[in-house]
Amino acid sequence: MSAPFSIQCFTCAKCKRLFNASAEQNAMVINNSTGAVVCQGCAEPGNTSSLAPYLQLIQEATMAIPKHVPVKPRDLEAQASQTTRQNQQAAFTEKLEFIDSSKSPAIPIYRVTDGLGKFIDPAQDPGFGKEKSIRIYEAMTQLNIMDRILYDAQRQGRIAFYMTNSGEEGNHVGSAAALEAQDLIYGQYREVGVLMWRGFPLEQFMHQCYGNSKDLGKGKQMPIHYGSQEHNFVMISSPLSTQMPQAVGSAYAFKRQPNNSRVVCVYFGDGGASEGDAHAAFNFAATLDCPIIFFCRNNGYAISTPTTEQYGGDGIAGQGPGYGLHTIRVDGNDLFAVYNATRHARKLALSNKPVLIEAMTYRLGHHSTSDDSTTYRSVDEVQKWGSGDHPIERFKAYLMAKGWWTEQREREWALQVRERVLTAFAASEKIQRAPYHEMFEGVYDKLPAPLRRQRQELDDHLAEFGTHYPLDRHLKKN
């Protein structure tokens, strides 16, 4: 350890003269009213304290200051070139140059088929086969039909609220089909196709929208806040992007399991990507090497806010490399592109390399039943996407070209699905809500005494005033 740096001198705060600390200790005093260290000549008589008690303290404080060692030019270079975790070396430059991101080309959009469902590069064909292809198409169309019926149901006042997935059926089913059943999914709210692909029953979607006693969530949340432990799909919650760092935490927990075979896939939108939680999630995933896929559904709008008002850089994909994430941008309406990208992303994630996929798509429907998008975008724009670049139409073209689907089958299937949805819907509508005591369940693992007292208070109140409450919509309490 080098010799401690010792104080050579004090400077008088008033006259700025230098005094040798050890030799001229008593030449300096502390001026009580200002706290300044001054020489005897500048001190206010009778209003000073000795410096002696503080010399030891100052000595100790300054002992921590390492002796100054001039740095050789070569050392500077070695220090400065040690940068990122990945031990990337940064070279020096003498050119004063700023990166103008508007001049960099945007990250290209990976696609596999054209607008008519034809493979541009046949080598990219994942080779689904007839059965899988039909299953994919049926999932997309079933979602589309269910969305229309439930949207109308809200308009008729039968359910409180609904959000459709129109235009995004391709990115849902394409990504879901590329994942394994054991992979854990965190969603935002517009990923019904993912849950549908996994086998969540139609009736359960209805039960959740009605919030009846068969709803897995027991009617606690608004419609479309789905979830299923059985299907490895974490319950949706309204706050945006909160699921993102949570997904990273789950991925980390999986990584620690011996022979881990699970990845986590977390979905979010172009708007959600602006939240602080998104930044937190990207950063944690990259620094902690988590087996996670970040799937951004860039559908052009966050309610009424277009992406031109959501970010200033190259979308969400443009952020990925900055965090240290493997990144790709894909055509979200090209199911094959979404599938291929997700499949490959899964391999990367399983080797603990987190991935960001930005799927470019378009929200054909309104944000929700509380929104009227004609107030902020043109009907022409919606039609351009709806008829020119619909994921279902593109996949259908492929299916028809293969001879695996016909217009006749289409008509039969549409009727079949409509009937199935309406039947489930009608059955669900009749089921009562859970007993009102359910409202007090699940706050903690066990009902705490104060809450039990509140429940009793409500019981007593309803005993007298029950006729003013919709008790008939609920099952009787036990």
Residues near 453 by beta carbon (within 8 Å), at least 6 away in sequence:
none
Look up residue 180 and give its two tokens: 């394994």
Tell me which of 111, 225, 329, 367 binds other proteins, using CB under 8 A. 225
Judged by CB under 8 A, does residue 251 bind other proteins? yes
* Contact between 220 and other proteins per CB under 8 A: yes
- The answer to whether residue 58 forms part of the interface with other proteins (CB under 8 A) is yes
Q: Least distance from C-beta 386 to other proteins, angstroms?
A: 34
Q: How far is the CB of 51 from other proteins (least distance, A)?
A: 7
Hey, CA dihedral for 349, 352, 353, 355, is it positive or negative?
positive
474 part of the interface to other proteins, by CB under 8 A: no
Considering the rule CB under 8 A, would residue 281 count as an interface residue with other proteins?
A: yes
Question: From residue 356 to residue 395, what is the string marking binding to other proteins with x (rule CB under 8 A)?
Answer: ----------------------------------------
Cβ nearer to other proteins, comparing 259 with 408: 259
State the nearest-atom distance from the C-beta of 28 to other proteins, in Å: 10
> Edge-to-edge strands of the sheet including 48-50?
37-39, 28-31, 48-50
By CB under 8 A, tell whether 287 contacts other proteins: yes
The token pair that represents 78 in the structure block: 């070695």
Question: Taking contact as CB under 8 A, which single stretch among the options 86-94, 112-120, 276-284, 462-470 is the one that binds other proteins?
Answer: 276-284
Which regions of 14-131 does DSSP assign to beta strands (E)? 18-20, 28-31, 37-39, 48-50, 109-110
Say how many residues touch other proteins, by CB under 8 A.
62
Report which of 348, 359, 405 is spatially closest to residue 128, judged by C-alpha positions. Answer: 405
Q: Is 432 in the site for other proteins (CB under 8 A)?
A: no
Which two tokens mark 159?
């359910």
Minimal distance in Å, beta carbon 250 to other proteins? 4
In the list 4, 25, 36, 311, the residue contacting other proteins (rule: CB under 8 A) is 36
- Binder of other proteins out of 248, 335, 350, 382 (CB under 8 A): 248
Contact between 239 and other proteins per CB under 8 A: yes
Please pick, from the candidates 25, 221, 304, 307, the single residue that binds other proteins as defined by CB under 8 A.
221
Candidates 108, 201, 276, 306: give the one binding other proteins (CB under 8 A): 276
Among positions 228, 327, 333, 428, the unique one binding other proteins when judged by CB under 8 A: 228
Q: Which of 1, 2, 35, 100 binds other proteins (CB under 8 A)?
A: 35
Q: In Å, what is the CA distance from 376 to each residue of 304, 311, 366, 379?
A: 6, 18, 10, 10
Question: Using alpha carbons only, what angle is made at residue 65 by residues 61 and 70, rounded to the nearest 5 degrees?
Answer: 165
Query: Should residue 321 be labelled a site residue for other proteins when binding is judged by CB under 8 A?
Result: no
Instruction: Give the integer Cα–Cα distance in Å for 445 and 420.
Output: 37
From candidates 110, 200, 205, 284, binder to other proteins by CB under 8 A: 284
Six token digits for residue 369: 């039943």
Q: Is 449 in the site for other proteins (CB under 8 A)?
A: yes
Residue 87 region by backbone torsions, left for phi larger than 0, else alpha for psi between -120 and 50, else beta: left
Instruction: Pick the binder of other proteins from 19, 37, 144, 367 (CB under 8 A).
Output: 37
- Distance in Å, CB of 472 to other proteins, minimum: 22
Which DSSP string corresponds to 374-410? GGTS-HHHHHHHHHHS-HHHHHHHHHHHTTS--HHHH
- Cβ of residue 412: shortest distance to other proteins, in angstroms? 36
Residue 191 binds other proteins, judged by CB under 8 A:
no
Q: Which of 332, 398, 342 is nearest to 120 (CA)?
A: 398
Give the shortest CB-305-to-other proteins separation in angstroms: 20
Question: Nearest CA to 364 among 172, 193, 165?
Answer: 165
Does residue 63 bind other proteins (CB under 8 A)?
no
| Euclidean distance between CA atoms 321 and 84, whole angstroms | 12
Binding flag, residue 189, other proteins (CB under 8 A):
no
Could you give the string, one character per residue 167-186, with x where binding to other proteins holds by CB under 8 A and - elsewhere? Answer: -----------------x--
Task: Specify whether the CB–CB gap between 207 and 160 falls below 8 A.
Answer: no
Q: Per-residue x/- mask for other proteins, residues 197 to 216, rule CB under 8 A?
A: ------------------xx
Strands 28-31 and 48-50: antiparallel
Residue 37 beta carbon to other proteins: minimum distance, rounded to whole angstroms: 5
Distance in angstroms between the alpha carbons of the first and the last residue of the chain: 76
Burial 312-338 (b: 16+ CB within 10 A, else e): eebbbbbbbeebbbbbbbbbbbbbbbb
Counting every residue written for the chain, the total comes to: 478
Q: What CA–CA distance (Å, rounded) separates 407 from 264?
A: 38
Binding-site member from 4, 5, 7, 352 for other proteins (CB under 8 A): 7
Cα–Cα distance for residue pair 327/316, rounded to 1 Å: 10
Q: How far is the CB of 38 from other proteins (least distance, A)?
A: 9
Q: How far is CA 265 from CA 62, 122, 198, in A?
A: 53, 28, 14
Positions in the binding site for other proteins (CB under 8 A): 7, 10-11, 13, 30, 32, 35-37, 49, 51, 53-54, 57-58, 61, 184, 215-218, 220-221, 225, 227-229, 234-235, 237, 239, 242, 244-254, 256, 276-277, 279-281, 283-284, 287-288, 441-445, 448-451
